[in-house]
Amino acid sequence: MTPPLVAPPVPVLLPPNQPADRFYAGVAGLAAFRGVPGAGTHVPEDWVASTTPLFGEPERGLARLLDGRLLRDALDADAVGWFGPAHVEAYGSAPEVLVKLLDAGERLPVHVHPDVPFALRHLACPHGKTEAWVALAPARVHLGFVRDVPADELARWVRGQDAAAMLAAMHALDLAAGDTVLVPAGLPHAIGAGALVVELQEPTDLSVLLERDGFGVDGAADGHLGLGHGLALGAVDRRGWSAADVGALRTARADDVGPLLPGAERWFRAERHRGPGRWDAGYAVLVVVAGAGTLTAADGTTTPLAAGQTWLVPHAAGVCRVAGADLEVLRCRPPLP
């Protein structure tokens, strides 16, 4: 008999959830972080605790528990146990956040994610895709235009696939391991080759690809959310951002512990923890960045943690304590109810 989908009072280990055949290369960095062999060449993402499928697909991208059942079904079956009453009152059984591990085996194409008004108006979707990166390795990223870009100029770049012009018109940031970057919906961006990041985002898979040449994308059919390129380009923030404004999206303090990404609480929350600590009850996706240690739930059950693992902590686990002198964990959480 299949056991009921009830939230356990302890953390749940999550197996890798890596959709294959993505449009950009990557696998080796993620495999090394996870400590498992990599397969293929275009498996650059791990959709951790995902209840969000890939755009236009019914199930690919959805996370499964170790017994093979969909995590989404478990959350629906016992929302209060997983999330707590305050979250359920505000959001129901939806996590309201998607966490990914992203391994850029090559520079990602210049792209953009719609904001909520655009997604509502054109896609009947209540979420846009504001996202944030926590860098686990040094990387160069491109973010926002340095000047106002007229609509016809942007359309000409996209039509001619002039990636050099796009990149030349964007700010470049060199990230160190531990840096964080908030990426508001609408802002054009590209993550550079060699990046390994933990990405928090609104729970959608909405991307408009400004750059397609050289990537595994059918330019006529894909990259515009089924809207056509002309309409899809309306999602792009074409304003010029100052260096100071772009710099304010980055927090270059890798030694910080505690809450990260100030101002992002309406979309998601992230905390960095090192060494021993005490956590309040609440649904959280854990990425064990380094070291080893333990997590003790309110009922006294102790679970070992090791670098490269991903865990889901239900609200039912109660107040938790973590220990381990060299332990480093990212605790990714939904927005505030």
DSSP 178-229: T-EEEE-TT--EEEPTT-EEEEEE-S----EES--TTSS--TTTSSSTTS-H
Report the C-alpha gap between 307 and 34 in whole angstroms: 8
**Pairing state of beta strands 292-296 and 269-274?**
unpaired
Last residue of a domain, one of 252, 283, 318: 252
Q: Measured on CA atoms in the order 146, 151, 152, 155, is the torsion positive or negative? A: positive
Query: Do residues 161 and 74 both lie within one domain?
Result: yes
Nearest Cα to Cα of residue 133 among 186, 189, 94, 172: 189
Last residue of a domain, one of 252, 271, 289: 252
What pLDDT score was predicted for residue 1?
45
Query: Do residues 173 and 218 both lie within one domain?
Result: yes
Query: Do residues 316 and 278 both lie within one domain?
Result: yes
What pLDDT score was predicted for residue 3?
62
What pLDDT score was predicted for residue 218?
84
Helix (H, G, I), strand (E, B) or coil at 294: strand
Query: Do residues 203 and 292 both lie within one domain?
Result: no
Last residue of a domain, one of 230, 252, 274: 252
Query: Do residues 275 and 209 both lie within one domain?
Result: no
Entry pTM = 0.96
What pLDDT score was predicted for residue 5?
80
What is the number of structural domains in the chain?
2
Query: Do residues 126 and 170 both lie within one domain?
Result: yes
Give pLDDT < 50 ranges for the chain. 1
Could you tell me where the DSSP H helices lie in the chain?
28-34, 71-77, 79-83, 85-91, 116-123, 151-160, 163-168, 229-232, 243-247
For 314, the token pair is 């239900």
Query: Do residues 227 and 270 both lie within one domain?
Result: no
Nearest Cα to Cα of residue 188 among 123, 112, 131: 112
Report the C-alpha gap between 200 and 334 in whole angstroms: 10
The percent of the chain in helix, strand and coil, each rounded to the nearest 5, is 20, 30, 50
Size (the chain), residues: 337
Query: Do residues 223 and 265 both lie within one domain?
Result: no
For 159, the token pair is 């039509």
Report the C-alpha gap between 198 and 135 in whole angstroms: 7
The answer to whether residue 2 is domain-embedded is no
The answer to whether residue 4 is domain-embedded is no
Helices (runs of H) and strands (runs of E) counted in the chain:
9, 21
What pLDDT score was predicted for residue 4?
66
